[in-house]
Structure 1
Amino acid sequence: MDIRTLHPTDLDLVCRHREEMFRDAGRSDEVLLPMTAHFRAWVEPRLVDGSYFGFVLMDDSVPVAGIGLMLIDWPPHPEHPTQDKRGYVLNVFVEPEYRNRGLARELMKLAEAEFVRRGVHYAVLHATQKGTPLYQGLCWSGTTEMAKTLDGSPCAAAGP
């Protein structure tokens, strides 16, 4: 297995990996196809300027796994009181026939080392249900983050 960094020419690969990752997590084409089109337009300039970076694992020149990384602007926080950035991991994907070989674990180790190399010592990710055991096994833990879709629908209160 060879390791290489992402290149701007990996646009199709990154988009396919992201779409397949969400499909594998149970999302429908009704949501994924428009998401991928908008993601493509969003990620292309970031691949070019290097603000979206990462790694690809290759098996005999064929990409079999990938990971995306970003540095996100974030105010100093108790978890990183002297830094104004966080590492962000996204789009971790391993082709189905290459799963359960430790490739995602290897990608995560590369990601952590790259963040440290760039001087960032705190990172976050949003895990799928399938990915959670991997991340927990690498000492990643849950946070207090919450989310809400702001679509104007009424909120059903959940108790007092």
Structure 2
Amino acid sequence: MEHAFFTVRPATLADLDSLIELRAYLLDGTTARYSSKTPEEAARWRTAYRSWLGSRLDESDCVQILTAEHKESGQVLGCATAIIDQRAPAPGCLNGLSGWVQSVVVEPQWRNRGIARQLMQHLLRWFANRGVDHVVLQSTESAGTLYQALGFTVSDERLLIRQEASA
């Protein structure tokens, strides 16, 4: 899984801090609805995410977390997560296996160099090898062009969210 200046590989426990800091680009201090609004909220999601990662980085059949690592420095430049859900069969998904992509993030200074594309291509192959033909993701506006180039289309379905107040 090597490319010009980076290697795509499965994330390990040694990558925990890098994965959390990369995800913070999406979840801290943005205007997105899902973004943490206070330092306390940021601390809570980071603690919960660290625990979640710790339980899933050891081989999982339904979760794949990849990193893009700089060949020379060993720095984690980007990451991406794939999750397989088992849902009821539907016309476009007869086996009920539905893929979800989340947390595709590249360090700002390394963006627009093909890292996110390579991470996504590896995740899409991982899904295909497991019989997952239906893959969904939520995108930032700036990443929409990449996902459309990879065959994703904008859905006409409404995404509705209900969230209980957290303690």
TM-score if structure 2 supplies the norm length? 0.79
Pair 29,12 (structure 1): closer, same or farther in 2 beyond 3 Å: farther
The AA in structure 2 aligned to 1:23 is: D
2:82 corresponds to which of 69, 76, 95: 69
Deviant stretches of 4+, over 4 Å? none
Pair 151,117 (structure 1): closer, same or farther in 2 beyond 3 Å: closer
- Gaps spanning 5+ residues in structure 2: where? 1-5
Correspondence for 2:13 = 8
The AA in structure 2 aligned to 1:134 is: L
| Partner SS state of residue 113, structure 2 | coil
Task: Tell me the distance in 1 between the aligned counterparts of 2:86 and 2:30.
Answer: 28
Correspondence for 2:3 = none
What's the CA shift for 1:11?
2.4
1:46 corresponds to which of 35, 48, 56: 56
Confirm or deny: 8 A CA contact 1:54 1:68 kept in the other structure: yes
2:96 corresponds to which of 84, 88, 98: 84
What's the CA shift for 1:93?
0.6
- Tell me, yes or no, if structure 1 residue 142 matches structure 2 residue 154: yes
- Gaps spanning 5+ residues in structure 1: where? 153-160
Pair 102,24 (structure 1): closer, same or farther in 2 beyond 3 Å: farther
Correspondence for 1:126 = 138
Correspondence for 1:104 = 116
Confirm or deny: 8 A CA contact 2:20 2:50 kept in the other structure: yes
TM-score if structure 1 supplies the norm length? 0.82
Pair 111,56 (structure 1): closer, same or farther in 2 beyond 3 Å: same
| Partner SS state of residue 120, structure 2 | helix
Q: How many residues align structurally?
A: 151
The AA in structure 2 aligned to 1:69 is: A
- Tell me, yes or no, if structure 1 residue 57 matches structure 2 residue 68: yes
What's the CA shift for 1:151?
4.3
| Partner SS state of residue 110, structure 1 | helix
| Partner SS state of residue 131, structure 1 | helix
Correspondence for 1:18 = 23
Task: Tell me the distance in 1 between the aligned counterparts of 2:101 and 2:58.
Answer: 18
Seq. identity, %: 25
Pair 6,145 (structure 1): closer, same or farther in 2 beyond 3 Å: farther
Task: Tell me the distance in 1 between the aligned counterparts of 2:52 and 2:162.
Answer: 20
